[in-house]
């Protein structure tokens, strides 16, 4: 009897741990598709899981950092969702590719036009961002998640280095070190060099084949000349013998 009680209590405790762990990690997050390098452009996914057992997620608001404003923010259409991009005036204009940018996106809002994110499901919202800051290691995006029962979950708590994860952490995008060429020019140059080398190799092969063909023709003509000469000598010898006879 005692053993069965202990086993039952252990099972309940283990189940509680699993449930609590799932709840703790089921928060709004942001992850890049590939790499998010400093000073470059990147496409990221805002992942929104539904933590409710009875309500659906019907609206998601993502606020963009004002300390590192982004000149280009383009959300990808998501079926079943309307998207609204809000811009704000900048205190200090940005200069991008020689152009002055006086306003930047401050918020992107997705609103479900149907059922939204159902219980036990999640939805990803892709966004193209750029240029990412060169003087930061991460970007914090504060998000609000609204449910169909009017509950609003505020994912706005910024993580503290060395501290415990907040109860409602804001999505954080980690930035990798910048490449030598933010726009991939180095790769393009390598590709061009490869094409040039390939073409040069093809030209060399063609020249070699042409040279081999010329040498073969010359040899054939030389052999033909020798044979003709030999035939002439043989004919001369025979003619001389006939005259002598």
3-state secondary structure of 34: coil
Which two structure tokens, joined as six digits, stand for 171? 């999505």
> What's the pLDDT at 236?
47
> What's the pLDDT at 117?
98
> What's the pLDDT at 93?
79
DSSP 158-184: PP-TTSPPPSSBPPEEEPBPPPS-TTS
> What's the pLDDT at 176?
95
> What's the pLDDT at 99?
77
User: In the chain, at which residue ranges do the beta strands (DSSP E only) sit?
Assistant: 29-32, 42-49, 57-63, 72-75, 81-96, 99-112, 122-130, 138-140, 142-147, 152-155, 172-174
Mean pLDDT per 10-residue section of the chain, whose length is 245 residues: 45 39 67 95 98 97 93 95 95 77 93 96 97 94 97 94 88 89 41 45 49 52 50 46 44
170's CB contacts (< 8 A; 6+ apart) are 140, 141, 142, 143, 155, 156, 157, 158, 159
CA 65 to chain centre: 22
Give CA–CA dist 154/144, Å, rounded.
Answer: 5
> What's the pLDDT at 225?
52
Contact 139, 175 (CB under 8 A): yes
60's CB contacts (< 8 A; 6+ apart) are 28, 46, 48, 109, 110, 125, 143, 144, 145, 146
């Amino acid at each position: 009897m005692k053993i069965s009680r202990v086993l039952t209590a252990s099972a309940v405790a283990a189940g509680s741990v699993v449930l609590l762990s799932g709840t703790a990690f089921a928060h709004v997050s942001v992850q890049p598709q590939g790499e998010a390098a400093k000073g470059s452009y990147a496409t990221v996914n805002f992942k929104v899981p539904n933590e409710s057992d009875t309500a659906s997620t019907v609206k998601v608001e993502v606020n963009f950092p004002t300390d590192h404003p982004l000149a280009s923010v383009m959300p990808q259409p998501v079926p079943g969702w309307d998207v609204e991009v809000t811009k704000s005036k900048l205190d200090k204009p940005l200069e991008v590719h020689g152009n002055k940018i006086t306003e930047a996106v401050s918020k992107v809002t997705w609103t479900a036009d149907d059922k939204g994110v159902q219980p036990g499901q999640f939805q990803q919202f892709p966004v193209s961002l750029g240029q990412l800051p060169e003087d930061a290691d991460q970007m914090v995006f504060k998000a609000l998640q609204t449910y169909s029962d009017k509950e609003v979950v505020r994912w706005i708590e910024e993580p503290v280095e060395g501290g415990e994860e907040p109860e409602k952490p804001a999505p954080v995008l980690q930035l990798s070190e910048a490449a030598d060429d933010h726009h991939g020019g180095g790769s393009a140059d390598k590709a061009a060099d490869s094409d040039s080398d390939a073409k040069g190799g093809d030209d060399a092969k063609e020249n070699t084949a042409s040279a081999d063909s010329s040498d073969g023709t010359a040899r054939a003509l030389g052999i033909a000349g020798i044979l003709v000469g030999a035939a002439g000598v043989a004919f001369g010898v025979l003619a001389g013998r006939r005259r002598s006879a």
